[in-house]
Structure 1
């Protein structure tokens, strides 16, 4: 029988080829049997093993059939084989919980860097951005919000957007004219105080309009305060000014 097996092997490796079978079995020294079969393939194809063994953890991938051998493929840095378990590859980011986190993500969606954001509630820490770019230098101390008062001399003044949110104190004893601007933004509020003997009249600048429920056009007298409020400004060149307060 041993001679027969030797003859059969010689014939199979030479001119004569063994008739194909649906499966092929291989036995190992331990007695186990491995069966290779393809019960449903409609056409023939080659499964050519690579010429050399792969490195630990590599995958055997298709060479595309024909005479191309299968190829050993590295998992790369995205995957990691450890203890016979395949997991995501580790990064330099320390696992944990981050407050107000500052993170970096690469083009594959992987988290590559993470750090805690600025602390809050303790003196000396940088505050996080609220609605835009803020520049802080050293410890900041914030007190109550107090509007500014700007004293004006002379008998005429033209309002500008920089006057919004302020009080203008006019001290001249002669009549004063304050002219509004058509470019005052909607939401602009200005307080006009008569600090001297000269009444302060409000005149609509070119393109601007003004209204008062009591038909006020000027301050009532010394220490009177008028409030000017822009409720609309179509196109930015047609400020609509409402006059309120202690007027005449």
Structure 2
């Protein structure tokens, strides 16, 4: 006999009046809802049941939806609505709904306005809405949390920075890189992007390299942690 258990269903919740389905052609004031597609791809390896809902920027509707979600799902991931904008209601409503806040905002770029909380055996993530920020936080934190919850050891990967990079703010920086395996050594080439909204740039990269806070210059030849989202050869 073999004991097994089922990962509970998870609900992805996109937020914002400006989002349209990826099949639609967006108007000038709209963008395609790509985050749910990206997160489904990240979570696919866990073979879990994944539902998706979308909520508009209406505080009363957001409150009602969160109440329904908390009555049904053990794991909920919001995409957007976690920053400090006019329509970013999610963290406040979650707190008022009895979800204990464990942390809000991380000293990093991209992906600073991330929220995480729990209520009993329920767990709630609120990720930034910008596509690169959302993707990074899902890869770096949601996936790591799932591994830890399942008792799977997280593999540690390091790579050698191929080209020097400067970053002045007192934050950790997750640099998009292309990885190359040369005689057993992993090298990382920075891939310039156009900010946290440049989702297309991820197609040309393999990983995020974590450049730790505490310095503002990262030199060629230094070694740092990398978080691959594509297979390492």
**Normalized against structure 1, the TM-score is what?**
0.20
Higher relative contact order (CA 8 A, sep 6+): 2
**Normalized against structure 2, the TM-score is what?**
0.21
